Amino acid sequence: MAVRNFYNCDVLRYHVERLASTGLIGLGYTNAPASIAPVGDKKPVIGSNPYVLSVPDGRDGATFILDQSASVAAKCEITMHARAKKPIPKGWAFVAERNPTTDPEADLKGSMAPIGGYKGFGNDRGLQWYRTSKLEHKINTILDFISAAEALIERKLTSKGRIVMHSGSADGLLVGAVINMRLDLFGAAVAEVPFVDVFNTMSDETLPLTPPEWVEWGNPITDADACRRMRSYSPYDNVTAQVYPPILATAGISDPRVTY
């Protein structure tokens, strides 16, 4: 599967995983203009999301998935910072002389910084770790976070009400769900363009990013169990009359993934 002139194609992984579930080797790639310079070099020679590879396991799944994201940030994020005339974080990009820059306009004429380490998806701890936090196991993501906060308190590294959570975009689910369930543990939360209306979003098949995400969350339209599970943790659907700690939530009218 090929996508033309696309800097970051998050749905590539979804499609190649579906190919693996049918017993085929899945390969997805883009032919986006070069924007990443190899480590130690200056000139951009590869795209920011060149390819994704999946190999079937013979049991309607994938033995492994290689999501070869090549940059520390999505090109569209830098473009949106430029439109908003906002600086980008340090470490995202550098100019031709390989000096770091926080100027998004300068980056668009230079190179994006190559990634150092894993992109995510839980694959750094193995595919089984990732699988036990999706679909019917999605709640594990939330409970693990709560357990981590409790462990910090038990080890006397902090105390109840003195932990601050910080998330962005899709991680807004985590902060929203956790603070609904265990607000006694946290003193404040920062949520940047948080994804908190999970149930309604995953129930709207007209949204371009919804069907590709059903493989992660389940489809509440056709699956009653997925519908029940999603309602149990969707932050927007579980707000109750209780005293919440201070929450700073931001939104952006031009964010194509988490709209205002």
Q: Residue 43: what residue type?
A: K
Q: Which CATH class is domain 1-131?
A: alpha beta
Mean pLDDT by 10-residue block, N- to C-terminus, for the chain (260 residues)?
59 74 79 65 66 74 63 69 84 71 79 45 54 83 88 88 84 89 92 87 86 88 93 92 90 62
What is the rounded distance in angstroms from the CA atom of residue 50 to the CA atom of residue 66?
A: 11
pLDDT of residue 63: 59
Beta bridge partners of 90: none
Following DSSP, what letter does each residue of 16-72 receive, concatenated? HHHHHHTTPPEEEEE-PPP-BPPTT--S--B-SS-EEEEEE-SSSSEEEEEE---BS
Closest CA to 107 of 99, 118, 119: 99
Q: Which CATH class is domain 138-250?
A: alpha beta
Residues 6+ apart with CB under 8 A from 95: 101, 106, 107, 109, 110, 111
pLDDT of residue 119: 31
Residue 89 in 3-state DSSP? coil
Closest CA to 238 of 174, 194, 145, 176: 176
What is the rounded distance in angstroms from the CA atom of residue 121 to the CA atom of residue 55?
A: 16
pLDDT of residue 101: 81
- Can you give the length of the chain in residues? 260
The token pair at 14 is: 């979804």
Handedness of CA 78, 256, 214, 183 (dihedral sign): positive
Domain residue ranges in the chain: 1-131, 138-250
What is the rounded distance in angstroms from the CA atom of residue 198 to the CA atom of residue 112?
A: 32
pLDDT of residue 111: 65
- Report pTM: 0.56
What is the rounded distance in angstroms from the CA atom of residue 219 to the CA atom of residue 225?
A: 9
Beta bridge partners of 64: 55
pLDDT of residue 72: 56
